[in-house]
């Protein structure tokens, strides 16, 4: 989204734009694949009412009629039971905490929602702040399982500004582009092409080399070498160094970019519902091989996917985690056994199809000193600029913030072009 939104705004400003995409489809971490008559994201996605940039661009490319809104149920698994967290009443009824702790939890969430920016939370870790605010019971049942499930042994270092953004920037109402977000990415590519731009799919950039005349040579495996006035790189910082051999070593040592976890998702296509009504299930109970269960077809109708009931089982993990190298069938079997603990009636015969998807650099690890690792957008290479998902801080990764950053980078490149 970051690269495409920048390319669209640059093309609209009259620039001749070329997009290089390594994969056979546009979309990055929001890319889809066909299930029934629709596209389904490989890694679960939705948007919020607060994602105004996404809503604006969906309208701009003519897809507003496909955008649907709802309030699917979010729940939590603890002590072999599922408790709904469906608005304030759900929190008040939460069965795993005494009333006094529930009220402290609600007050904490209200404070995060009302705080206008991240400044009150700077310099504090998420686990320390939530422990002080909500006490040991809420910490044990809610915060610690959530943070350790997502960040493993880095949980103690995650800064409170990251957690603030997760709650402050989100709404209870969720939006989804019926037929899949892939439609949006393809529409963006089409709009760029109509404005005279070129989109190269299945094309890997192998080198970015500044030239003596101020131009930038971009080498790729399918298009040879092309010269450009400006280049915007949207790779993670650690990959940027691999394709830009002329970057001074001191720059990457000073600005290595943050550590990332990768994404690992198993998707089950079932012949029936797994849960009666749950869309998002936070798996706070220890001993499960995944941190979230998302029953997509408790939000969207199974008919959109050939009648399949679709369930995501998701993880963020260190990129050297053994799960990334495991046999897919073996992983599906193991995850299926864990699903049976959530619904004892579940039987592997319910599975009609299954998929396993993996992606590196999916979740930045936001620890103290995070900002110090972020490189400036203007790199030491003349006319080469860098912006990636890590730069959306204090917001967490997401389509909306990538889109806004892409638009901001387009303005930055246009200003630099005029000044040159």
Q: What is the mean pLDDT of each run of 10 residues along the chain (420 residues)?
A: 98 98 96 97 96 98 98 96 89 96 96 94 97 97 96 96 92 95 98 98 98 97 95 96 94 95 98 97 97 98 98 97 97 98 98 97 95 96 97 92 98 90
Are 215 and 159 part of one and the same domain? no
Residue 78 domain-assigned (yes or no):
no
Are 349 and 299 part of one and the same domain? yes
pLDDT value for 351: 98
Residue 77 domain-assigned (yes or no):
no
pLDDT value for 341: 97
d(CA 292, CA 150): 9
**Phi, psi (deg, nearest 5) at residue 344:** -60, -20
d(CA 80, CA 78): 5
Domain that includes residue 332, residue range: 261-364
Are 125 and 242 part of one and the same domain? no
Residue 75 domain-assigned (yes or no):
no
Residue 390 domain-assigned (yes or no):
yes
pLDDT value for 48: 96
pLDDT value for 418: 83
Are 92 and 136 part of one and the same domain? yes
Are 250 and 269 part of one and the same domain? no
The residues near 68 (Cβ < 8 Å, ≥ 6 apart) are 175, 176, 177, 178, 300
* Number of domain units in the chain: 3
Q: Fill in the DSSP letter of residue 165.
A: H
Give the burial class of 373: count Cβ atoms within 10 A of its Cβ; 0-12 exposed, 13-18 middle, 19 or more buried: middle
pLDDT value for 325: 96
The residues near 382 (Cβ < 8 Å, ≥ 6 apart) are 210, 214, 216
Are 133 and 249 part of one and the same domain? no
pLDDT, tens digit, 9 for 90 and up, residues 221-262: 998 999 999 999 999 999 999 999 999 989 999 999 999 999
Among 113, 145, 168, give the residue marking a domain's end. 168
CATH number of the domain where residue 238 is located: 3.50.50.60
């Amino acid at each position: 989204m970051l690269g495409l939104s920048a390319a669209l705004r640059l093309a609209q400003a009259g620039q001749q734009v070329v997009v290089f995409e390594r994969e056979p489809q546009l979309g990055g971490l929001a890319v889809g694949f066909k299930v029934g008559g629709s596209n389904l994201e490989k890694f679960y996605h939705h948007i919020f009412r607060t994602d105004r940039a996404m809503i604006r661009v969906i309208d701009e490319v003519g897809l507003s009629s496909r955008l649907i809104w709802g309030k699917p149920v979010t729940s939590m698994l603890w002590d072999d039971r599922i408790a709904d967290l469906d608005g304030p009443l759900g929190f008040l009824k939460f069965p795993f905490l005494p009333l006094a702790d529930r009220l402290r939890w609600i007050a904490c969430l209200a404070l995060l929602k009302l705080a206008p920016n991240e400044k009150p939370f700077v310099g504090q870790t998420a686990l320390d702040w939530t422990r002080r605010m909500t006490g040991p019971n809420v910490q044990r049942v809610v915060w610690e399982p959530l943070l350790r499930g997502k960040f493993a042994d880095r949980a103690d270092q995650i800064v409170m500004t990251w957690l603030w953004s997760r709650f402050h920037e989100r709404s209870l109402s969720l939006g989804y582009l019926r037929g899949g977000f892939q439609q949006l990415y393809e529409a963006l590519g089409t709009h760029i092409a109509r404005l005279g731009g070129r989109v190269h799919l299945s094309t890997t950039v192998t080198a970015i080399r500044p030239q003596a005349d101020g131009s930038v040579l971009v080498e790729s495996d399918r298009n040879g070498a092309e010269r450009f006035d400006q280049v915007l790189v949207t790779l993670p910082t650690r990959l940027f160094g691999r394709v830009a051999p002329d970057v001074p070593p001191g720059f990457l040592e000073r600005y290595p970019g943050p550590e990332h976890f990768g994404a690992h998702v198993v998707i089950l296509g079932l012949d029936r519902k797994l849960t009666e009504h749950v869309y998002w299930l936070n798996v706070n109970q220890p001993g499960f091989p995944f941190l979230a269960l998302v029953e997509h077809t408790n939000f969207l109708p199974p008919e959109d996917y050939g009648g399949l009931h679709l369930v995501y089982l998701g993880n963020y993990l260190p990129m050297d985690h053994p799960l990334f190298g495991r046999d897919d069938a073996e992983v599906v079997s193991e995850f299926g056994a864990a699903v049976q603990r959530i619904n004892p009636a579940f039987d592997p015969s319910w599975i009609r199809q299954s998929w396993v998807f993996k992606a590196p650099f999916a979740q930045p690890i936001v620890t103290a000193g995070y900002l110090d690792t972020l490189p400036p957008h203007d790199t030491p290479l003349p006319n080469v600029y860098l912006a990636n998902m890590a730069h959306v801080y204090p917001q967490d990764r997401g389509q909306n913030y990538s889109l806004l950053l892409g638009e901001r980078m387009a303005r930055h490149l246009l200003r630099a072009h005029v000044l040159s």
